[in-house]
Amino acid sequence: MKDKRKKIATRKTPFAKGYIRSIKKDWRLWLLIIPLLLWLYFFAYRPMYGIYIAFLKYSPFKGIEGSAFIGLENFRNLMFGPSSEYFWRAFKNTILISTYGLAFSFPMPIIFALLLHEVKSNKSRKLVQTITYAPHFISEVIVCSLVLTMLSLNTGLFNVLLEKLFALFGQEFTPIHFMAKSEYFRSIYTISGIWKEVGFSSIVFFAALCGIPNELYEAAKVDGATRLRQIWSISIPGILPTIVIMLIIRVGNILNVGYEKVLLLYNPGIYDRADILSTYIYRLGVQNNPNYGVSTAASLINSLIGFAMVIMANRIAKKFSQTSLW
């Protein structure tokens, strides 16, 4: 009877007491979380106080407390004011560049992981992994410098190759100034991004493929299934939950196009297709005559749309694939 009472008492122990007991028992492990919590506080939660600037006629000299409250005036000026066309242009460009990435950059790591999984030689696989993972660790500044050098007007690799190719057929070739023509920017941005990230981004999918039992493939071989049939019927369904989760995260970041890369590649001559929300916010908040209130309003809109996209993508994924983030 005493043992039963002890068990009942244990079951009825409040969650807080169990939590405290866990901290006392594994306090060394809990200490390791402190740096992360401090980082989250100072660099994630504390800066959120700055969101209030979006509703102020903010002046750095007066500070947040001293600046006048103007409600939604910054949002009105941003979306419907005299310069609103630049905001909507940046918004459209952001959506289009992100759509390019979603259509081409997202499937490529999946395809690469599927192909890599079919390589049976460990040495060959490791060599390919090393070569394709390496670009991820190259600085964005160096990558953009390489792109600009290869696409330069007179000495760029692409123009030199095209000139020689045209010469083989006896045709005259006029060098193309790729970085001065806005119609090329989105393709350049997407292709260079695929080259840099396709290997590293495939790690998650390759790990999921390695978790599929070999017995399934062996049974498929016995049934006479070809390699393509095995990929279609075993590999892809096996990593589908991972694909869905990564897609939800990617959709949530659809407006977060890497502004560093755009900032390093674009120029005023191609703003019509290259200017994105992040670079527009940068110019509003840092360059020339900074307008902190409007730039903060633009950032807040960006974040709210991203948050809404995550919720929407999660609900759709949960409805159709039974896989979701929450």
d(CA 91, CA 276): 6
Using DSSP bridges, classify how beta strands 56-57 and 68-69 pair: parallel, antiparallel or unpaired: antiparallel
Alpha helices in 153-274 (DSSP H): 157-168, 185-210, 214-222, 227-230, 236-252, 259-265, 271-274
Classify residue 316: in a domain, yes or no.
Answer: yes
Classify residue 195: in a domain, yes or no.
Answer: yes
Domain around 96 = 85-320
Instruction: Work out the pLDDT band at 14, boundaries 50, 70, 90.
Output: low
93-138 pLDDT, tens digit per residue, is 999 999 998 899 999 999 999 999 999 888 999 999 999 999 999 9
Classify residue 103: in a domain, yes or no.
Answer: yes
Mean pLDDT across the stretch 2-14? Answer: 50
Q: What pLDDT does 256 receive?
A: 81
d(CA 95, CA 215): 43
Q: Tokens in use for 130?
A: 């090393």
User: Hey, what amino acid is at 323?
Assistant: T
Prediction pTM value: 0.82
Q: What pLDDT does 325 receive?
A: 72
Identify which of 265, 54, 247 has the alpha carbon closest to the alpha carbon of residue 149.
Answer: 265
Name all contacts of 101-106 with Cβ < 8 Å and 24+ positions apart.
Answer: 101/190, 101/193, 101/250, 101/257, 102/250, 102/251, 102/254, 104/190, 104/194, 105/190, 105/193, 105/194, 105/197, 105/198, 106/246, 106/247, 106/250
Classify residue 19: in a domain, yes or no.
Answer: no
User: Contact 113/122 with Cβ under 8 angstroms?
Assistant: no
Per-chain mean pLDDT for the chain? 88
Number of domains the chain contains = 1
Classify residue 32: in a domain, yes or no.
Answer: no
Instruction: Work out the pLDDT band at 15, boundaries 50, 70, 90.
Output: low
233-290 pLDDT, tens digit per residue, is 999 999 999 999 898 888 888 888 878 899 999 888 899 999 999 899 888 888 768 8
Classify residue 242: in a domain, yes or no.
Answer: yes
Q: What pLDDT does 268 receive?
A: 87
- Find all residues with CB under 8 Å of 30, minimum gap 6, and list them: 23
- Find all residues with CB under 8 Å of 297, minimum gap 6, and list them: 54, 74, 75, 78
Instruction: Tell me the CATH number at 157.
Output: 1.10.3720.10
Region for 156 from its dihedrals, namely left if φ exceeds 0, alpha if ψ lies in -120 to 50, beta otherwise: beta
286-306 pLDDT, tens digit per residue, is 876 888 999 999 989 988 888
- Find all residues with CB under 8 Å of 267, minimum gap 6, and list them: 179, 180, 274
Classify residue 185: in a domain, yes or no.
Answer: yes
Classify residue 77: in a domain, yes or no.
Answer: no
Mean pLDDT across the stretch 21-25? Answer: 81
Any bridge partners for residue 56, and if so which? 69
Mean pLDDT across the stretch 214-228? Answer: 90
Residue 1 has pLDDT above 90, yes or no: no
Q: What pLDDT does 9 receive?
A: 47
47-84 pLDDT, tens digit per residue, is 888 899 999 999 888 888 889 999 999 999 999 988 89
Identify which of 303, 299, 296, 306 has the alpha carbon closest to the alpha carbon of residue 55.
Answer: 296
d(CA 89, CA 84): 9
